[in-house]
Amino acid sequence: MTAQHRLMVHAHCYQPPREEPWLELVPREPSAAPDHDWNVRITRECYAPLGAAPVLDDHGRVRRVVNCWEWLSFNVGPTLVHWLEREAPSVLERMVAGDRAAISRTGHGTAIAAPYHHVILPLASRRDKQTEVRWGIREFRRVFGREPRGMWLPETAVDEETLEVLTEAGIAFTILAPHQVTSPSPDGAPLRWQRDGRELALIAYDGGLSHQVAFGDLLKDAHRFANEISERRTANGEPVAGPGSPVSVVAVDGETFGHHHRFGDLGVAGVIDRFAAGSGARMVNSEQLIAELPPTRDTELMSPTSWSCAHGVERWRSECGCRMDPTSRQGWRAPLRLGLETLSAELSAIIARDWPVGAAPLESPEQPTDTSPADPLLARLRELERHRLAMFTSCAWFFDDLARIEPKIVLRHAARALDLVPSDESALLETALVALLAEARANDPDDGNGASIWAREIVPGRMAVQQLAAGLLAVHEFEREQPVELELDTHEWSITDREVELIDLRTGERTRWTGEVITMGVVASRVHLRRVGMGMSAVIEAIDFPEALRAQLATIAAAFVFDATINGSARRALDAGELEPADARRTALNGALEHIGTAGFDSGADLLLHGALDLYALAGVHPTLEERAMVWQRLAGLPASAARSRLADRLELVLPT
């Protein structure tokens, strides 16, 4: 049998955990428009099309549809799996189906595991390495229904201890960059790493070829891809491909196919179609490669190293020089890491103290389905451990600036972890954390430092449960027949007259809330919320209700407000679905102001204006300065009255007396 050249393409699929950690909802990201957020956008552009990618003939007709997950080697980070399960289950099903189809066809699956969080394992303690690897394996088993053979390491970051932990957990191989091993294989074949009688196979990818796929346009043309492989030469002029060189390995971010490169899914489908037929090379997955070419050549690690920092793993703790914008500074990386490591050590001590068998790593939380966990203490400590580990999600340090979303993601997990600690201890830990965060400075002085970002952008998020309770009371006030249009992984609830009980599915904690729903226009504008049996009370504005509850209230309000304020051609455009929401709100605001111009406040026109303002709040936006100026002009001409003052207060207008 002639030794045919092989091609392996690995896709590392991952997104930062964009869910806020209290209700685990992804906030709207305007930069991802027209999609709700970047998870939705990237799923639409990449993960979904890869599950059913068309192969075109020379006339542009669809000749075949390929599930790329059957042919690529891939991993999908557990935090992304959780999002897909909730928001795009059919996309995850195609991934699982691809793995199963590959097993039927070759005896080897295409999916490999990943640690539970996307953390830089060489910077984690041995115990945290073990926890991340064990939880990652458990998630893989749950999703793919089998044991994993390989594991992807976040940023391919590796040291000796990381590989020891992988072997102890029964993992057989991982994938590394060529510069991470001391003796790269001349022919692409897998290598062997050994330590104390344990061994692990290492697949080192082809750096040049992977770079051309990730950053060049090699994907556009399957013929060129095939030629590129057959024409590649080693340093001493030998063909890279051919009988003497068993494999070419590509490893890239999965988002390369369709998100970074538009139509990359078509490109990869074309490549699969060509090579699956055995033309030029034979496409194999990583498990299959290890089975066909068990490693015989030994290598040592370059340790610690990663695929995305030339300085080892410094990118995730210091200003090593790795960045996108050469004019930016990363002095914030070290204090951010120190602050979170200091907090993490204290949290670990609390877990060890409160959990008597703390010497053994805690198991990962199950996907919660049980509203009353058998052991509430264990449930709370697992949740604390989950958020403690999430504080080290690597993207926080990867980019240029502290004021980006990624550092805020890890700070949100720190706040959630603090919320799971008894409040007297939590307050001390938070003070210590904030003092260390003050040393981390954003590039733009206007963005402040870690302490001001904490106060401004992290602390308000801790009101999420109150905002949920208030939103539920508000919807219940106006909508007793229809079910609440919100489903959460974190909470269940029951609503009786003027009282809502929330059950935290992660910890089993039950809380009861009551409150007064304040209506200024058509639906709730705010809720004066009280926790039953506790002294706690808060005023929650409609703009802060969870998005799905705002949308439900907006549907009720819009029917009334639009009927009274929008007519003529704007009305026809609205009915035809051609009026943008922002334009519809502004038209309604104008319509309400016209009513006031005609009839003053006598006809209830102030309620109509409040109703229009409710539509802004329920869309999660404030009126623009220009729109507030429009209202000022109209109200300034009216005599002072209680109705005028209420509107002025709501819009922060100072009117002439």
Residues that bind Zn ion (CB under 5 A): 309, 311, 314-315, 320, 322
Beta carbons of 203 and 173 less than 8 angstroms apart: yes
Q: Smaller CB distance to Zn ion: residue 322 or 570?
A: 322
At 468, list the tokens.
């949920």
Q: Smaller CB distance to Zn ion: residue 329 or 528?
A: 329
Task: Please report which residue ranges of 376-455 form alpha helices under DSSP H.
Answer: 376-390, 395-398, 405-419, 423-437, 450-453
3-class DSSP state of 17: coil
Least Å distance, CB 312 to Zn ion, is 7
Q: Which of 348, 337, 438 is nearest to 391 (CA)?
A: 337
At 442, list the tokens.
């954003």
DSSP strands (E only) in 509-651: 510-519, 524-531, 537-541
Least Å distance, CB 253 to Zn ion, is 18
Q: Smaller CB distance to Zn ion: residue 116 or 397?
A: 397
Question: Residue 37: is it exposed, middle or buried by C-beta count within 10 angstroms (0-12/13-18/19+)?
Answer: buried
Q: How far apart are CA 57 and CA 79, in angstroms?
A: 38
Least Å distance, CB 310 to Zn ion, is 5
Least Å distance, CB 318 to Zn ion, is 8
Q: Smaller CB distance to Zn ion: residue 312 or 358?
A: 312
Beta carbons of 122 and 85 less than 8 angstroms apart: no
What is the biggest distance separating any 2 CA atoms in the chain, rounded to whole angstroms?
96
Q: How far apart are CA 240 and CA 238, in angstroms?
A: 6
Question: Residue 302: is it exposed, middle or buried by C-beta count within 10 angstroms (0-12/13-18/19+)?
Answer: middle
Least Å distance, CB 316 to Zn ion, is 9
Least Å distance, CB 177 to Zn ion, is 13
Q: Smaller CB distance to Zn ion: residue 265 or 314?
A: 314
Q: How far apart are CA 253 and CA 50, in angstroms?
A: 13
Least Å distance, CB 306 to Zn ion, is 9
Q: Smaller CB distance to Zn ion: residue 191 or 322?
A: 322
Q: Smaller CB distance to Zn ion: residue 103 or 309?
A: 309
Q: What residues are paired with 555 via a beta bridge?
A: none
Q: Smaller CB distance to Zn ion: residue 334 or 573?
A: 334
Least Å distance, CB 319 to Zn ion, is 9
Q: Smaller CB distance to Zn ion: residue 157 or 301?
A: 157
Q: How far apart are CA 579 and CA 573, in angstroms?
A: 5
At 653, list the tokens.
């207008």
At 78, list the tokens.
């557990």
Quick one: how far is CA 250 from the chain centroid? 25
Tokens 């949100």 -> residue: 412
The count of other CB atoms within 10 Å of the CB of residue 366 is 12
At 92, list the tokens.
């995850």
Q: Smaller CB distance to Zn ion: residue 207 or 365?
A: 207
Least Å distance, CB 322 to Zn ion, is 3
Least Å distance, CB 458 to Zn ion, is 27
